[in-house]
Amino acid sequence: MEAPPLPAASVSCRNLGKSGLRVSCLGLGTWVTFGSQISDETAEDVLTVAYEHGVNLFDTAEVYAAGKAERTLGNILKSKGWRRSSYVITTKIFWGGQAETERGLSRKHIIEGLRGSLERLQLGYVDIVFANRSDPNSPMEEIVRAMTYVINQGLALYWGTSRWGAAEIMEAYSMARQFNLIPPVCEQAEHHLFQREKVEMQLPELYHKIGVGSVTWSPLACGLITSKYDGRVPDTCRVTIKGYQWHKDKVQSEDGKKQQAKVMDLLPIAHQLGCTVAQLAIAWCLRSEGVSSVLLGVSSAEQLVEHLGALQVLSQLTPQTVIEIDGLLGNKPHPKK
């Protein structure tokens, strides 16, 4: 039986990379849930609890629920009436529509896509606009110039990358420096106990060299790292949602079963720290160098409160505990010779 979750603590802030922007070390993502999986009322409850606990970073994208996530988030923010200066909104541009001109990272789609997002969010600007995956069809100079333009026009305050390779991020930075344009400040990357290479090996070097920080997502591997699967797939979990057959296949694959076994191996450590495996996994993500914020995806306010309890676990993650976790996982990445 798993230990009762630690209660939520007030969320602290970190600098976004080496920029001056302060973001909560735990942010709230709207992928899957907002506009699709949960009701607007539940979404409002989740957002309210997050804000009241010090979460100031709310992440969305033009593609989430075909724009409904941005619309839902915008409606909630408008109804709450919170000071615009008290929270950070991020959105991602790439998949905007069916037409060739409605996707990718051309100057046209970056500008028009962002304006569409702002209209759905009912905001004058977003704090960070992310280029959601790299685009081989758009020259890097065009992308950097377009991002600089939307910032100079006041449509965004910063820009970042999402699912870009380290070499591509470095190219964008170099392009910005060469032409006196604005470089990206952070990369959004998947990071959890079974996805480690990029955030632990590649991004720290970029953080030290050019100040690019990390905003990471999927700390629980789409719910895999909760011990709830335990060799089976419950009827109520995310993998049973239409369109998530890929995740169900992943969970039920040989690798998925091995990962579930590793999660169960972590239970004694979680018990020792007085937390759940989910809280342990989130705290583990927060310890990585250069990580500015870890995005949480939740379907209820209760689940959010439990996940925020990870902050109390972070201070207990001693080097010895981390070594013990690495030993159980057996997947710690090492520098390539």
- Band (248; pLDDT cuts 50, 70, 90): low
Q: Which stretch of 79-83, 184-188, 247-251 has the lowest confidence by average pLDDT?
A: 247-251
Tell me what pLDDT residue 244 has.
54
Beta bridge partners of 187: 161, 214
CB 140 within 8 A of CB 170: no
CA distances from 152 to 15, 157, 232 (A): 22, 8, 51
Q: Residues 4, 55, 158, 103: is their CA dihedral positive or negative? A: positive
- Average pLDDT over every residue of 188-212: 97
Rounded Cα distance between 275 and 280, Å, is 7
Q: 158 an active-site residue?
A: no
Q: Which residue has the tokens 């065009």?
A: 142
- Average pLDDT over every residue of 117-129: 98
Tell me what pLDDT residue 243 has.
57
CATH 3.20.80.10 fits 13-223+280-299, yes or no: no
Catalytic residue among 64, 87, 158, 173: 64
**Structure confidence by residue, pLDDT tens digits, 323-334:** 999 999 999 998
CA distances from 134 to 98, 171, 210, 224 (A): 18, 12, 19, 27
The domain locations on the chain are: 13-223+280-299
The answer to whether residue 187 scores a pLDDT higher than 80 is yes
DSSP state letters, 68-98: HHHHHHHHHHHHHT--GGG-EEEEEESB--S
Q: Which stretch of 13-22, 250-259, 299-308, 309-318 has the lowest confidence by average pLDDT?
A: 250-259
